Structure 1
Amino acid sequence: MGRVAMARCARQARPRRCPARHRRWHRRDVQADTLERWLILAGIFLVDGQVVAGVLGDGGGVGRIGTAELMTFAGYFAAFVGSVISTYELFERAERAMQIARGRNEELQREVVVRKRAEEESRQLALIDPLTNIYNRRGFTALAAHVREIARRQQRPIHVLLIDLDRFKRINDAFGHAVGDKALVEFAQILTATFRKSDVVARTGGDEFCVLLAEPVDGIQTAMARLRQNVDDSNGAGTRSYRLEFSIGVARAMPNDDDSIHALVEMADEAMYEEKRLREGAA
Structure 2
Amino acid sequence: MSAPRNPFKAALRKGDFQLGLWVALGSAYAAEIAGGSGYDWLLIDGEHGPSDMPLIGAQLGALRGRSTHAIVRPPMGEAWLLKQLLDLGAQTFLIPMVETAEQARALVRAVRYPPAGIRGVGAGLGRASDFNRVPDYLTTANEEICLIVQIESRAGLAALDEIASVEGVDGLFIGPSDLAADMGYLGQPSAAPVQEAIRDAFVRIHRHGKARGIMTVALDQAHEYRAMGADFMAIGTDVNCLVSAIDGLRRSFLGVPVSGEQKGGAY
Shorter-chain TM range is under 0.3
| TM-score scaled by length of structure 1 | 0.22
Is the helix fraction higher in 1 or 2? 1
Is the strand fraction higher in 1 or 2? 2
| TM-score scaled by length of structure 2 | 0.23
Structure of higher CA gyration radius: 1
